[in-house]
């Protein structure tokens, strides 16, 4: 299976279609000899994020884990921020792909599409917490500094925004009709749930996909009732 590609055609980390998880082998110290240095560095960085969080990543440590010289990462990245931006970009590319699949599977059914995309968002976070932390962490909060990352994030956001717009027309009666405010309201609710899951705050409530989907549907219902309540 080909890896996810960004708009520049670079191979991104592979994400399993059935599970939605990043497919990679944990890097072994000193294992890199030749081939895709960029991929080896990204895998090593992701392994560090899993153990220490984004703040614990350094180019020197990533190089050591990948088994290359301290100067090697600078062939592909200007610094730590550039490395984390690349990880965030591949995360957004994968999120876009998974939400797009959810959208296509429910196209024409506004509420079902909204549910499916919201669930895809939350499931991605639950199954790829390290990518998720980097994607929305302070280390790369200014995405305008990284054009390809911003483009990937915007594409993923647009899928969510389109689902809100499609849902609004046939389902929403009364209430706020500003597309941007509706998008922010819905996204922040799903994002809040995803953040709680990634932070380990809902371990007792989310132990399986079925429980995750049920919670996602409950959140969707709350959003739907809130958006359609004209008294707010």
Domains and CATH numbers, the chain: 14-79 (1.10.10.60), 81-227 (1.10.357.10)
| Predicted local distance difference test score (pLDDT) of residue 60 | 95
- pLDDT tens-digit map of 187-209: 999 999 999 999 988 887 787 88
How many Å apart are CA 116 and CA 152, to the nearest integer? 20
Q: Which of 212, 219, 51 is nearest to 129 (CA)?
A: 51
| Predicted local distance difference test score (pLDDT) of residue 174 | 55
How many Å apart are CA 23 and CA 104, to the nearest integer? 23
Find all residues with CB under 8 Å of 191, minimum gap 6, and list them: 121, 136
Q: For 55, which DSSP code? A: G
Q: Is the pLDDT of residue 42 over 70?
A: yes
Point out the least confidently predicted range of 61-65, 88-92, 165-169. 165-169
- pLDDT tens-digit map of 50-86: 999 999 999 999 999 999 999 999 999 999 999 999 9
DSSP-assigned states of every residue in 13-44 = -EE-TTT--EE-PPPPTT---SS-HHHHHHHH
Q: For 75, which DSSP code? A: G
The model's pTM: 0.82
- pLDDT tens-digit map of 120-149: 999 999 999 999 999 999 999 899 999 999
Q: Which of 154, 39, 50, 138 is nearest to 92 (CA)?
A: 154
């Amino acid at each position: 299976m080909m890896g996810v590609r960004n708009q520049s055609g670079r191979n991104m980390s592979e994400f399993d279609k059935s599970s939605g998880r990043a497919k990679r082998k944990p890097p072994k110290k000193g294992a890199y000899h030749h081939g895709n240095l960029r991929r080896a560095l990204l895998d090593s960085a992701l392994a560090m994020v899993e153990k220490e969080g984004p703040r614990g990543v350094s180019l020197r440590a990533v190089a050591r884990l990948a088994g290359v010289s301290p100067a090697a990462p600078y062939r592909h990245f200007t610094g730590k921020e550039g490395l984390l931006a690349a990880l965030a970009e591949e995360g957004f590319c994968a999120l876009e792909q998974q939400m797009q699949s959810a959208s296509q599977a429910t196209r024409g059914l506004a509420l079902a599409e909204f549910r499916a995309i919201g669930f895809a968002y939350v499931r991605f976070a639950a199954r790829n917490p390290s990518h998720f932390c980097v994607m929305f962490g302070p280390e790369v909060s200014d995405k305008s500094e990284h054009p390809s990352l911003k483009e990937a994030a915007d594409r993923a956001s647009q899928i969510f925004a389109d689902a809100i717009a499609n849902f609004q027309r046939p389902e929403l009666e009364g209430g706020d009709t500003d597309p941007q405010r509706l998008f922010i309201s819905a996204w922040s609710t799903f994002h809040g749930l995803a953040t709680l899951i990634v932070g380990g705050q809902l371990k007792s409530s989310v132990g399986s996909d079925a429980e995750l989907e049920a919670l996602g549907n409950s959140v969707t219902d709350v959003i739907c009732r809130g958006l359609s309540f004209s008294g707010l």
